């Protein structure tokens, strides 16, 4: 067998190892309880799975770059990078969705402060007596929360008008311009999320023509065709799960995963897909703007507080005030969970965006050098 540098080093053992690692990682993601599934820490772990898998995938391609320009692998690689470009739009939409959760977080803080949660110390002294003004303020914030949490296509339009991206924070405009000139225009709206953009349609575009390679393609590429197919499915599933969890415009989960269970990783991915779909069908989650566990908890707490504050009469009874403060305490716990998990997830999504851009640039550079050397 020739050396890795000559592009003939990939073998069946490496392919099986890569596929088994994918299977194990997704099996681990699916082994959590229903309370952990689709939570902020879980979504962050999902992105870690993608980043780890992508790094290994990229390393294998670099070690076999002599094969990348040979058909049919050149076409399969180009198709994969086209899918990855489409996923940049999803990253931007998810970032805007996280911004929307931040707005809900601010409304929660208004409710918590208005109803006195943060004005009670451990000795339960200096407790503020709730007045009509505080309750009205909390009701207003809770009403805004209720509107925002509903999965309404029109409610996402203010987010759609934002014209910014992870990439726009890059000050090296000359380098960016040079990269765009060399690589060509990204045929997706990767610098902003337009008013007409659809998460459902974008997922369909990412998964378009993602089919298992034929036997002759696997043979001709020494198994690398299966590697690309595997990573394409990982990319599609991760983007689908992000759209399922985080608010974004025109969400839709009707994506078909065409994979045979004979692949080592298929069972774990399809099982996880089924679990997420099961969550989406639950009565109390159907109309929410995202299936993130923290969104469900925000919705549950806000509904409970809305009902309670709506029935308050003044002067407020001691029993009613105690119940109210208990509900506010529960919202405070959700608020802290969101505060703790939101920023790390934002950073991870930003890392994902830049990794996809960098990997595509590096991959196409390898293709270009391979072409020039022939």
Cα 210 to Cα 234: distance, rounded to the nearest angstrom: 11
Is 364 within the bounds of a domain? yes
With a CB cutoff of 8 Å and minimum separation 6, the contacts of 152 are 289
Cα 77 to Cα 224: distance, rounded to the nearest angstrom: 10
Is 48 within the bounds of a domain? yes
Higher pLDDT, 196 or 141: 141
What's residue 125's pLDDT? 46
Instruction: Give the pLDDT band (50/70/90) at residue 76.
Output: very high
Is 187 within the bounds of a domain? no
Higher pLDDT, 108 or 153: 108
What confidence tens digit (pLDDT) does each residue in 91-149 have?
A: 999 999 999 999 999 999 999 999 874 443 444 445 556 788 889 999 999 999 999 99
What confidence tens digit (pLDDT) does each residue in 200-253 have?
A: 999 999 999 999 999 999 999 999 999 999 999 999 999 999 999 999 989 888
What's residue 58's pLDDT? 92
For residues 5-32, give the mean pLDDT: 85
What's residue 39's pLDDT? 98
The whole-angstrom distance between residue 95's C-alpha and the CA centroid of its chain comes to 9
Is 170 within the bounds of a domain? no
The predicted model scores a pTM of 0.86
Q: What are phi and psi of 269, to 5 degrees?
A: -70, -45
Instruction: Give the pLDDT band (50/70/90) at residue 180.
Output: very low
Higher pLDDT, 189 or 194: 194
Decide if pLDDT at 176 tops 50: no
Is 173 within the bounds of a domain? no
Decide if pLDDT at 183 tops 80: no
| Burial 251-281, CB ≥16 within 10 A → b, else e | bebebeeebeeebbbbbbbbebbebbeebee
Average pLDDT of every residue of the chain: 84
Is 41 within the bounds of a domain? yes
Is 303 within the bounds of a domain? yes
Domain that residue 208 falls in? 12-117+131-151+192-372
Is 276 within the bounds of a domain? yes
Number of domains in the chain: 1
R_g of the chain computed on alpha carbons: 24
pLDDT exceeding 70 applies to what percent of the chain? 80
Cα 355 to Cα 82: distance, rounded to the nearest angstrom: 15
For the four alpha carbons of 194, 198, 201 and 205, in that order, the dihedral sign comes to positive
What confidence tens digit (pLDDT) does each residue in 315-373 have?
A: 888 888 889 989 999 999 999 999 999 999 999 999 999 999 999 888 777 666 555 54
Decide if pLDDT at 152 tops 70: no
């Amino acid at each position: 067998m020739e050396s890795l540098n000559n592009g003939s080093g990939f073998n069946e053992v490496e392919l099986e190892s890569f596929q088994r690692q994918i299977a194990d990682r997704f099996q681990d993601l699916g082994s959590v309880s229903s309370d952990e599934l689709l939570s902020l820490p879980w979504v962050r772990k999902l992105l870690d799975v993608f980043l780890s898998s992508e790094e290994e995938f990229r390393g294998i391609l670099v070690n076999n770059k002599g094969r990348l320009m040979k058909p049919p692998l050149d076409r399969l690689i180009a198709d994969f990078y086209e899918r990855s470009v489409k996923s940049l739009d999803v990253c931007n939409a998810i970032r805007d969705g996280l911004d929307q959760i931040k707005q809900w977080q601010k409304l929660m803080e208004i409710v918590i402060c208005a109803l006195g949660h943060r004005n009670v110390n451990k000795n339960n002294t200096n407790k503020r007596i709730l007045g009509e003004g505080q309750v009205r303020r909390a009701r207003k914030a809770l009403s805004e929360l209720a509107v925002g949490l509903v999965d309404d296509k029109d409610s996402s339009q203010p987010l759609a008008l934002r014209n910014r991206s992870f990439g726009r924070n890059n000050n090296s405009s000359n380098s960016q311009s040079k990269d765009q000139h060399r690589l060509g225009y990204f045929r997706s709206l990767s610098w902003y999320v337009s008013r007409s953009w659809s998460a459902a349609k974008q997922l369909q575009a990412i998964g378009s023509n993602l089919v298992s390679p034929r036997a002759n393609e696997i043979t001709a590429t020494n198994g690398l065709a299966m590697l690309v197919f595997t990573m394409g499915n990982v990319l599609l599933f991760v983007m689908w799960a992000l759209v399922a969890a985080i608010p974004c415009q025109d969400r839709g989960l009707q994506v078909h995963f065409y994979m045979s269970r004979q692949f080592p990783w298929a069972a774990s991915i399809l099982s996880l897909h089924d679990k997420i779909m099961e969550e989406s069908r639950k009565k109390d989650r159907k109309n929410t703007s995202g299936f993130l566990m923290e969104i469900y908890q925000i919705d549950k707490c806000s509904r409970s507080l809305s009902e309670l504050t709506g029935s308050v009469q003044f002067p407020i009874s001691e029993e009613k005030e105690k119940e109210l403060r208990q509900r506010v305490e529960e919202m405070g716990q959700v608020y802290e969970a969101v505060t703790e998990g939101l920023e790390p997830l934002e950073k991870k999504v930003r890392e994902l965006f830049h990794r996809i851009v960098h990997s595509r640039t590096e991959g196409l550079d390898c293709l270009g050098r391979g072409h020039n050397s022939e």
